């Protein structure tokens, strides 16, 4: 080996050997890569495939959108439309990028360390995808990793980032991409601050656009405008599961107790029938994708509105059928729809609808173990089988049988 090569190799090995010592000095709550010099050690180690220095396969947050059909609109918990953009739209958006931004975002490039314009950005605000505008990271979660790239310990929403195994350059790493446009962002490692998440999201400045806290976010970076609906139709487990998993345009469904006379009701109290509450669900939806009328069509399909104070095997006033209107417009629309069903739907020709239609009162979220109960326990609730009547178009159009 040439003498110069031997010297370089010795320096590199010496730097790598210093990492455990740095970790020991830093203590249990310190990352070994918290300074510019420590970051250089990690950078060199990564270049030469020394991936044994760090755990390179971090825990990937579970996605709320993972169980939705591929052609449905997808929404994050934060209320953003994260429906994957078609390739044609991505290429259209890419026309505004610089050559360097295209190299990084579209071709999984990496900008040189310590050269990104957002590395030492001291301002408070949000870091959005440079290509599609989806909010990705916030300055509250930014830290100086010393690696030469902007680093964060978490994303603003787990659903805003997609994860992919990257075996390039003889290493196994976890690549992070924008969930909406699939633009390359960087990689994530498990050597972040141990006192928070332990994650280090290592980003390219070229992949992001920064907006200060007091700046008005562009439309593409804002959550969708949503509306709220409340329905009570027997056991809330089944109603919640159906709306959340079978109705496109629904962002979120929460089980709870509503229109009773007791504050902070608990499940056992409600089961006595003395609190006056109904088991209900709060539905957050995108009115640009699904209307309140369509939600009512689904509601009157998945429960029997002719059963008084019961639904199938569940008996009691807490299982009553009700539409709790969020405003006067919903109240009038619900009344008109019940009248329409009474006069036109053969299901209710000889069986009167007993659904209560009234203004909503306070909604109390049910205990955590009730949320997503059917999905977590793979249990179904009572749903009537209607014969001789077509299901709502919003369901058949979504492929629901």
Q: What is the pLDDT of residues 6-27, one digit of tens each?
A: 444 444 444 433 333 333 333 3
Q: Is 181 a catalytic residue?
A: no
Q: Do 39 and 149 meet the contact criterion of CB atoms below 8 Å apart?
A: no
pLDDT tens-place string over residues 319-375 = 999 999 999 999 999 999 999 999 999 999 999 999 999 999 999 999 999 998 888
The H or E element that residue 314 is part of is: strand 314-315
Confidence class for position 385, pLDDT limits 50, 70, 90: confident
Q: What is the pLDDT of residue 395?
A: 86
Token pair for residue 149? 């790239």
Tell me which of 128, 129, 181, 202 is the catalytic residue: 202
Q: State the pLDDT at residue 401.
A: 56
d(CA 320, CA 340): 21
Give the tens place of pLDDT for each residue, 179-227: 999 999 999 999 999 999 999 999 999 999 999 999 999 999 999 999 9
The catalytically annotated residue of 128, 178, 235, 381 is 235
| Residue 30: pLDDT over 70 | no
Report how far residue 53's alpha carbon sits from residue 46's, in angstroms, rounded to the nearest whole number. 9
Residues 36-90 have pLDDT tens digits of 444 444 444 444 333 333 333 443 333 444 455 667 788 998 999 999 999 999 9
Could you tell me the pTM of the whole model? Answer: 0.72
**Catalytic site residue 235?**
yes
- Please report the beta strands in 196-320, taking only residues with DSSP state E, as ranges in sequence order: 200-203, 208-212, 227-233, 250-258, 278-285, 310-311, 314-315
Q: Which residue has the higher pLDDT, 124 or 372?
A: 124
Q: Which band of pLDDT confidence, cut at 50, 70 and 90, is reported for residue 381?
A: confident
CA–CA separation, 256 and 245 (whole Å): 18
What mean pLDDT value characterizes the chain? 85
- Domains observed in the chain: 55-220 (2.170.150.20), 227-396 (3.30.1060.10)
């Amino acid at each position: 080996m040439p003498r110069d090569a031997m010297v370089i190799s010795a320096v590199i090995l010496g730097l790598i050997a210093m990492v455990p010592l740095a970790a020991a000095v830093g203590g249990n709550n310190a990352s070994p890569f918290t300074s510019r010099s420590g970051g250089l050690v990690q950078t060199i180690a990564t270049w030469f495939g020394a991936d044994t220095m760090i755990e390179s396969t971090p825990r990937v947050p579970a996605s709320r959108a993972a169980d939705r059909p591929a052609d449905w609109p997808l929404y994050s918990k934060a209320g953003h439309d994260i429906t994957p953009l078609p390739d044609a739209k991505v290429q259209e958006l890419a026309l505004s990028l610089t050559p360097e931004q295209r190299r990084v975002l579209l071709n999984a490039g990496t900008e040189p360390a310590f050269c990104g314009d957002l590395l030492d950005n001291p301002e408070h605000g949000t870091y959005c995808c440079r290509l599609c505008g989806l909010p990705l990271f916030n300055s509250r979660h930014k830290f100086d990793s010393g690696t030469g790239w902007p680093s964060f310990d978490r994303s603003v929403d787990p659903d805003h980032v997609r994860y992919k195994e990257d075996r390039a350059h003889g290493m196994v790493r976890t690549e992070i991409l924008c969930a909406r446009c699939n633009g390359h962002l960087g990689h994530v490692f498990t050597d972040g601050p141990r006192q928070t998440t332990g994650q280090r999201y290592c980003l390219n400045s070229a992949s992001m656009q920064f907006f200060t806290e007091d700046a008005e976010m562009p439309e593409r970076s804002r959550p969708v405008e949503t509306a709220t609906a409340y329905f009570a139709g027997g056991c809330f487990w089944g109603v919640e599961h159906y709306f959340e998993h079978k109705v496109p345009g629904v962002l979120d469904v929460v089980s709870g107790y509503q229109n009773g006379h007791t504050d902070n009701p608990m499940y056992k109290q409600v089961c006595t029938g003395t609190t006056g509450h109904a088991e209900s669900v709060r539905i957050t939806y995108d009115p640009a994708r699904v209307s309140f009328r369509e939600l009512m069509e689904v509601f009157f399909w998945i429960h029997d509105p002719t059963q008084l104070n019961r639904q199938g095997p569940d008996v009691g006033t807490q299982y009553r059928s009700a539409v709790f209107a969020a405003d006067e417009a919903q109240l009038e629309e619900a009344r008109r729809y019940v009248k329409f069903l009474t006069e036109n739907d053969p299901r209710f020709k000889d069986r009167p609808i007993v659904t209560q239609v009234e203004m909503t009162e306070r909604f109390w979220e049910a205990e955590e173990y009730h949320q997503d109960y059917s999905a977590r326990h793979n249990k179904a609730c009572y749903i009537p089988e209607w014969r001789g009547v077509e299901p709502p178009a919003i369901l058949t159009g979504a492929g629901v049988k």
